[in-house]
Amino acid sequence: MSTQAEGLKRRTGPDIADFYDIRSMLSDEERQVQESVGQFVDQEVIPIIGEAFDKHVFPDQLVPELGKLGVFGCNLEGYECAGLNNVVYGLVCQELERGDSGLRSFVSVQGSLCMWPIYTYGTEEQKQRWLPGMAKGELIGCFGLTEPDGGSDPGTMRTKAVRDGDDWIINGAKMWITNGTIADVAIVWADTEEGIRGFLVEKDMPGYTTRDIPRKMSLRASWTSELFFEGVRVPDSNRLPGAKGLAGPLGCLTQARYGITWGAIGAAIACYKEALEFAGYRKLFGRTLAETQTIQLRLADMARRITTAQLLSLQLGRLKDQGTMHHSQVSLAKWNNVRAALDIARDARDLLGAGGVTTDHHAIRHMLNLESVITYEGTETIHQLVIGRELTGHAAF
Ligand code: TGC
Ligand code: FAD
């Protein structure tokens, strides 16, 4: 019988998960950070994540370790952030999501959706107060944009903030908010007389309550919550002065969507490797699955799609690092890479046969998680329409 080891010996060509030798296009620092986060995922995440998913709990014991690794806001400078480039941030997301999309979500929300707006739109006092603790994972943030009446069109939000002397009074609700119940601070987007503004709502402020959304069949190792605001009084010093209009929250989404383009590659690689290994030892009709043409076609297609996604994200990261990335380019990569990862996860699940329906294998967990990833941070359709608008000049949302 062919074994996986024999299979690996036969392959003398490209690395199966790095077909185009992307590693050779990375700097030493980029490779080192990827390796150390990858080791953390292999040793600390993979052994426990299936059970966390089954039990529908976020593995919060990992947060201090992630803080020590320096992944929170790692592409920001100062305030105890690591000051790394955007390619490193992407590689971090890729490694974390190879473990689980819920873990990468935690890091995306903390770094891109909460630390980034404080860093970019906040006052010096706000930065000093929140960023060092968030970088260490001692303080947790959440990002409240989506509302129950429809997330794709945040410009029509119903949550309102009304000026009252030196304060603002916030009324409304947010839904599907990652980390809502565990967050020390919520970045809340509300409509005001002057347009959309962002506020730092602190967990103990009277009138602010949260609850988790139960029975999710996706991102089960992550908390997703509802936020309620009933006359919450927030001082003007908790408003983000640099955020004006819908461009404020959409600017944050560009940061997080960029990380997701990389993260999806990690989930895809986990599924593809699992399918490849299984095909190497599963023997049917007198030969391994790896020796049949249609299985090879399916594995080859996974390799093609992963390679395409890797090249897209790397070039996107280089554009971001040189300051020329456009948000429609992020939309194209988010659409392509998450679609690729979801298709790969579904195909890997099928290739594993009946065993693939249990969380003893990784594929179904990734597949279910990716159903959220393709919906959040702009659905696939929204990203297609963003590119359509870019090409034609007509907004067809
Ligand atoms: P539109 O007229 O296009 O834009 C209003 C203003 O914003 C600017 N802008 C952007 N800026 C930065 N990044 C982007 N991606 C931007 N897109 C637009 C734009 O230039 C304009 O600026 P200004 O100065 O002229 O005012 O706005 P629209 O109302 O037509 O909406 C466009 C649309 C549909 C693309 C937008 O609403 C959208 O992206 N909808 C999807 C909403 C979404 O993605 N929500 C995600 C919520 S957060 C989340 O899901 C977290 S999941 C947890 C995790 O990440 O793990
Ligand atoms: P809708 O906007 O109601 O869309 C429904 C369907 O209509 C979709 O298929 C969509 O593609 C389609 N559609 C919409 N507009 C058009 C159009 N013009 N033409 C054709 N089709 C269209 N949000 C946050 O603010 N913070 C978070 O931390 C956060 N975390 C999340 C975590 C999870 C696990 C999930 C599942 C979601 C999270 N979200 C978060 C919300 C997420 O961003 C929204 O679910 C998403 O933006 C879509 O909004 P919706 O669910 O209201 O769907």
Q: What gap in Å lies between CA 359 and CA 366, rounded to an integer?
A: 10
DSSP-assigned beta bridge partners for residue 173:
228
pLDDT at 249: 98
* Each residue's pLDDT tens digit, 236-287: 999 999 999 999 999 999 999 999 999 999 999 999 999 999 999 999 999 9
Q: Does residue 7 carry a pLDDT above 90?
A: no
Instruction: Specify the fold of 141-238.
Output: Butyryl-CoA Dehydrogenase, subunit A; domain 2 (2.40.110)
Distance of CA 81 to the CA centre of its chain: 19
Residue nearest to atom 29 of ligand 2 (CA): 177
Q: What gap in Å lies between CA 36 and CA 5, rounded to an integer?
A: 25
CATH code: domain 247-392 is 1.20.140.10
Provide the residue ranges of all domains of the chain, joining segments of one domain with +: 22-135, 141-238, 247-392
* Each residue's pLDDT tens digit, 86-139: 999 999 999 999 999 999 999 999 999 999 999 999 999 999 999 999 999 999
Ligand nearest to the CA of residue 150, numbered in listed order: 2
pTM greater than 0.95 (yes/no): yes
Confidence of residue 14 (pLDDT cuts 50, 70, 90): confident
Residue nearest to atom 8 of ligand 2 (CA): 379
DSSP string, 353-376: GGGGGSTTSSHHHHHHHHHHHTTS
Q: What gap in Å lies between CA 187 and CA 208, rounded to an integer?
A: 13
Q: What gap in Å lies between CA 125 and CA 325, rounded to an integer?
A: 30
76-82 LR contacts (CB < 8 Å, sep 24+): 76/111, 76/115, 76/116, 76/119, 76/131, 79/119, 79/127, 79/128, 79/131, 79/132, 79/135, 80/131, 80/132, 80/135, 80/136, 81/115, 81/131, 81/135, 82/135
* Runs of H (alpha helix) within the chain: 4-10, 28-40, 46-55, 63-69, 86-99, 101-108, 116-121, 124-136, 247-281, 293-321, 327-351, 363-373, 380-392
Residue nearest to atom 19 of ligand 2 (CA): 397
The CATH H-level (homologous superfamily) assignment of domain 22-135 is Acyl-CoA dehydrogenase/oxidase, N-terminal domain (1.10.540.10)
Residue nearest to atom 51 of ligand 1 (CA): 377
Using a 6 Å CB cutoff, which residues line ligand 1?
105, 108-109, 143, 145-146, 151-155, 178, 245-247, 250-251, 253-254, 256, 327, 376-378, 382, 386, 395, 397
Q: Is the CB of 177 under 6 A from ligand 2?
A: yes
Tell me, yes or no, if 371 is annotated catalytic: no
The alpha carbons of the chain give a radius of gyration, in whole angstroms, of: 21
Q: What gap in Å lies between CA 362 and CA 102, rounded to an integer?
A: 13
* Each residue's pLDDT tens digit, 23-45: 999 999 999 999 999 999 999 99
Q: Is the CB of 223 under 6 A from ligand 2?
A: no
Chain length of the chain? 397
Ligand nearest to the CA of residue 146, numbered in listed order: 2
Q: What gap in Å lies between CA 146 and CA 376, rounded to an integer?
A: 10
